[in-house]
Structure 1
């Protein structure tokens, strides 16, 4: 990072800040790591470091709600800086890599040293995602220990994570989801729930029934991850059928998290969802080591949704103020309001011939634009950023 710049002017950029309904060309002034002003013309630049943002988009710092920035801690983990600041993302939400038995190590060796900010969801499974499947029986959980860990780490634990997958369904069953929901509710935190089992769907698939029952337990502020999956347990079928529990959950205020992943996203399902008004509340990546080839960065996933019919303002809202709200951080992040910490992403809508893939579902999408990060400011300190679209995932 470039340090020691006390006052910075970003001029001539397109400022998009959905939290303030701003979409205009103008300037952003940063002073001592805070946002001083937005949109105003600045004539006296003598004491400023000036960046000309002509042709660039200035947004609040991007937030990836659902990923696994835990390289060296878990086999699925990826380096936090590569998917964070170097990709234009200022805040990462770790989606349950650690559980109560190993959260202290996750905090000590991953979260605390990171330059990119990380907030966490505590996995219901005591060992988190160190070993899969993480829950076969209730012996794989320790609710009292989890309560103690949440209490001791309130500053960075922002929710509870559970995966509604087959081993849990065949073991604790719906009681496992109820345990996770009670743990979250008792701590006044949201529950993040994964749906989708990585195998072909069969006739009258029981995982669909399990997911429908599990989704019915989610309340306002809870997070339904992978809701655009094509897998058994998904809430939208390839023929466009939408299970009523999904629409009911949306009406209750459940957060719909796209969480791309390798196996959990389908262009076909996404098109059905968008056409029926079931657009994401939040766009996230589920970035972990197997995912890098299909979703190398948040900017690439945002680009996919532009080509699926969402507007630039919508995808920025879904990666700034909406995930900030989901994490209870909307007073600190996700906005360019004066006085807030200067976490800012600068991007360019580049034109070309781009090919996007949805992972193991096997569909491709050809697009003419790519959101390419150019630089990122973290508390006013600047560094270059990029989408990784053209860069092989060398750190897998």
Structure 2
């Protein structure tokens, strides 16, 4: 505990001193969790690398990623290099997906901090969390004062100056979870979904996806994407071992010449190694993200992950496979109240036999170009459309336009529009 306190105090001192550094309004730095190139900041960065609206720099603790970006002609620096520290101290705009530590938690003070958060929350997040392991981060323990607790958890207590929110529902969640006024929320879509609307040539076709993983593609081939949520109760058990009969699933995939893309949460990605020896079960947990392929997915299977909210924009059929529903609700974070009132946009199953039956019946007669191709999803069409309107406001300007207008308003004399 003494070490944590000393480290926290040192972090606060350095963070306070960073406010003395001059900031360049024509420079933005971006980063992402676990030193990946992924999610909203990735697509904002790629957009600006093309348009040169503002000098955009990627910061990461992954030297291999930095080298790759540099070879592609993009500006990026290792977090603890002299240039990485220099740009963290002098950039006016910090864009991140989770916390300022995506870039550098010591040097963000004085910058305008824009949190592009990585999902549309169903489970309670940040300061709304009242149970489960993460509650210890946001709720003071053992009669600690909030100020002392904020020293131990520095970056979680740094409020962003701006967040994007696609709907009034998300406004309320972000306002509460991040302790923000509604003036700090900008009604907008997200770069992760808006990018491929602006750059459709960057999408991956179904055949291209099969070619990437070297599996034969036919007109009847289907892509099933499984993206479970993180089970943050920190057990040593692999929950997906018993949740699927992997050999049986593999036989079905081979019979239909389909693929099952398994994408576990970054905190559980190592668990997928157990299943990658089954034919046509493809572990993509190490991919940067799934947005270049999401429009080509025939069926999304998830449990509590908010990825389904993004998939609504593509009219992708959705199944909720909640094999550990009671245990999850007891040991992990609670859902927001709205989740209970939300009409299901797809069927919910609790056993593998139920799930396999739905997969076997679905998608044989209807192509993915039509809505709800899987038979089991047919009764949910109306609820699906209602949910889409619940989470997304039609005809919004895309995220890139909103963010650039915000930057221009911040210092219009220093930004040149392309």
Shorter-chain TM-score tier: under 0.3
What is the TM-score with the length of structure 2 in the denominator?
Answer: 0.24
Greater RCO, CA 8 A, separation 6+: 1
Higher helix share: 2
What is the TM-score with the length of structure 1 in the denominator?
Answer: 0.25
Query: Higher Cα Rg: structure 1 or 2?
Result: 2
Higher strand share: 1
